[in-house]
Amino acid sequence: MTSLSFILTYGQHNFRNSLLLGHTFLALRACKTLVDRLPHYIFLTALPQLISRICHSNEEVFIQLCKIIASVLCSYPQQAMWHMIAVSKSSYPVRVKRCHEIFETAKRKNGNLHKFIADCTKLADKFLELSNKPVEKDSHHVSLNSILRGLPRLLSDTSFSRIILPLQQQMTVTLPASSETLHSHNPFPKSQVYLESVEDQIEIMLSLQKPKKLTLRGSDGKCYIMMCKPKDDLRKDCRLMEFNAFVNRCLLRDPESRKRDLRIRTYAVVPLNEECGLIEWIENLNGLRHILHCLFRELGVYMSGMELKKHMCKVDTPLNKKREVYLKILVRRHPPVFGMWFLRTFPDSQAWLRARMAYCRTTAVMSMVGYILGLGDRHGENILFDATCGDTVHVDFNCLFNKGETFDWPERVPFRLTHNMVSAMGPTGCEGIYRRSCEVTMRVMRDEREALMSILRPFIHDPLVEWSRADSRARSGGTGEINNEKAQMHVSIIEQRLSGQIHTKSRGINLPLSVEGQVSSLIEEATNIDNLCQMYIGWAAYM
């Protein structure tokens, strides 16, 4: 993989530098040898990163990429096609052309792929059509047969290819425990579940885009729920899920992390094009805002939106005034009640303790990962909690790379750690389980920074990242591959954070800190009253 990273990074410059030219050809030769020797599931783990570079300017590099991706597609067509669908429907003509070149290469290697690729494309087209089907304004349910008969008809065709459900458990590669079983290892040991049909009753969600909640029936007879979401680019969410899955593998390898069961709760995100996609539905999740609002109403301290607006400060209101409103009005009307939800949801003492520990640990991991990536917009509807185990689950990863600092009300905290979240951690608050979990997570990420950066660097070249909305297509020259200074700057900031340097809205870059010092500084920033009182009122720093 090191040879591949070198080729992708420096291959586009080899015509300028004879020394790089020689090294690139050596790396290409080594890469060709590795492709023939390594099992293809190794490349499947990095397939999204490889796909993001298919518009590489060096023809030799693309030929090698084409060979690798086509080989993966031949060996694992079920998983690979779900990754390739969005690229095949890109708005960048060059990306589409390169994608079809890969398809043709794979077909020449495996003649059975002709019909499979065609059927996958038909299925994706039907999901896209369903996603964009308008529904009546006040309707909560709709019949599939009444709006799109073509989808059930397609799936009932006996000649239609068997296509797996794009669930996380079916898309995630299981790596071998030992190199001795590298070639004999089965990366997908569980029986695959194929899509058999879609239930006729579709639930329409209440949000602005009116996403549709589908019930998919698998070949095992069970029902699986996925959300078909229109008018929302899910490619960034998909890439972050892949990054989170890699972080999980790093955490699983570390003894201290494994002992604490540190992990990120992930779910499948499948982009179908640049505006629509499928999201795996996780049952029994409750949003932080919903939980707290219910508890505040019970206690008779709930503040309506109109009442909150009366106390809303302006951006240029003096800090002293913001602090006074925050402490004397907003926080007093929003007491720390989150711990009550755990007591009610987990009435058994052992279950309650396990849930609280799971909450502390999963919150800690995402706090550190979110800080490294500059993840913002962590309001009460983007953080949810699993009512079966207490896990924290984050959704909506569109606000990345410190984009929140550019809002009209710039975000000032590295992650959400408000007084309600701290109080639910127990009498010691963020000391103990939470802090130690943060330290272990940060140490693992700093130890694995080269591997993590190899996943993040393709963001520089991928048009899905809105470094500068207006001219991203112009800078790519229509090729679908970009390279600009702003992207490089953000990746450089991530590298600095992974080296122990603190880089937040209120603090510039300084000397690298120890893991403990870095975590302590971040917790201080996240809980600082002067930072919280300057957050936009919709972020609800007072809850």
DSSP 348-369: SHHHHHHHHHHHHHHHHHHHHH
**Could you tell me if residue 459 is inside a domain?**
yes
Domain count, the chain: 2
**Could you tell me if residue 244 is inside a domain?**
no
Cα–Cα distance list, 195 to 54, 165, 182 (Å): 29, 5, 30
**Could you tell me if residue 101 is inside a domain?**
yes
Cα distance between residue 74 and residue 72, in whole Å: 5
Q: Final residue of a domain: which of 86, 111, 136?
A: 111
In terms of residue numbers, what domain contains 491?
285-306+317-539
Cα distance between residue 27 and residue 1, in whole Å: 10
Q: Final residue of a domain: which of 79, 111, 143?
A: 111
Residues 6+ apart with CB under 8 A from 116: 77, 81, 161
Phi, psi of 363, deg, nearest 5: -65, -40
Return the ∠ at Cα 477 (arms to 93 and 22), rounded to 5°.
100
- The DSSP output letter for 313 is P
**Could you tell me if residue 299 is inside a domain?**
yes
**Could you tell me if residue 12 is inside a domain?**
yes
pLDDT, tens only, 61-111: 888 889 999 999 999 999 999 999 999 998 889 999 999 999 999 999 998
Q: Residues of the chain whose pLDDT is less than 70?
A: 1-32, 459-485, 503-509
* Amino acid 474: pLDDT: 47
381: domain CATH number is 1.10.1070.11
Residue position matching structure tokens 């710039």:
410
pLDDT, tens only, 402-426: 898 989 999 999 999 999 999 999 9
**Could you tell me if residue 416 is inside a domain?**
yes
Residues 6+ apart with CB under 8 A from 52: 458, 459, 461, 462
* Amino acid 341: pLDDT: 97
Q: Final residue of a domain: which of 84, 111, 138?
A: 111
**For the chain, what is the radius of gyration of the CA atoms?**
24
**Could you tell me if residue 199 is inside a domain?**
no
Is the pTM higher than 0.85? The answer reads yes
Helices marked H in 269-312: 288-299, 305-310
Cα distance between residue 46 and residue 26, in whole Å: 22
104-131 per-residue burial string, b: 16 or more CB within 10 A, e: under 16: ebbbeeeeebeebbebbbbbbbbbbebb
Cα distance between residue 371 and residue 502, in whole Å: 10
Q: Do β-strands 223-229 and 269-271 pair in parallel, antiparallel, or remain unpaired?
A: unpaired
Tokens of 59: 């023809």
**Range 112-116 contact pairs with CB under 8 angstroms and sequence separation of 24 or more:** 113/73, 113/74, 113/77, 115/161, 116/77, 116/81, 116/161
Q: Within a 13 Å sphere around the CA of 417, how many CA atoms are in the beta-carbon half?
A: 33
* Amino acid 119: pLDDT: 96
**Could you tell me if residue 181 is inside a domain?**
no
